[in-house]
Copies of this chain bind each other. A is one copy, B any other.
Amino acid sequence: MTRRSEVRSCYGVALAEALAGLDEGGIPIGAALFRGEELIATGRNRRVQDDDPILHAEMTCFRNAGRRTDYADLTLYSTLAPCPMYTGAILLFQVPRVVVGESRTFAGELDLLRRRSVDVIVLDDAGSAQLMRTMMSAHPELWSEDIGGR
């Protein structure tokens, strides 16, 4: 398997989480943690499902990955550019690499991550962007709430 196909394959797991969130009536953002091609944990945004403001997809994924000390070996995949909260979690746990689906619908903190030496890859995935645009259009108040009313 080439490196590029590995990234696409692992990213597909995060995208599947976003789609599962959509099916549940949630905010369609998904995440996955991998060690190379080994899946460690998945997560999706659970603000609506669990009525919990901190459960962004990536936070759910870190929770599901459990207590660990091997973050230096992991890559976080997310369908959306890093919000400040999950940017902070990446910096806290010192995850060295993040693969992001798209940053068109939400710019996020790509610059901060890069300034702190995190390797960031943006795939510019049209599928994830379309999911976000549909949700933002249908539920603008929910999206505003999820990103702190900005």
A residues adjacent to B (C-beta < 8 A)? 47, 51-54, 59, 62-63, 65-69, 71-72, 83-89, 91-94, 109, 144-145, 147-150
Contact = CB atoms under 8 A, between A and B. Distances in A.
Q: Interface majority SS on A: helix, strand, loop or mixed?
A: helix
A84 B72 CA distance: 16
A114 to B, nearest CB: 15
A71 B92 CA distance: 23
B47 A53 contact: no
B54 A66 contact: no
Given A53-B63, A53-B66, A92-B148, 10 more contacts: A52-B67, A53-B65, A54-B63, A54-B89, A67-B145, A85-B88, A85-B91, A86-B88, A88-B88, A93-B148
A51 B66 CA distance: 7
A63 B52 contact: yes
Contacts of A86: 88
Given A88-B84, A88-B88, A94 B148 contact: yes
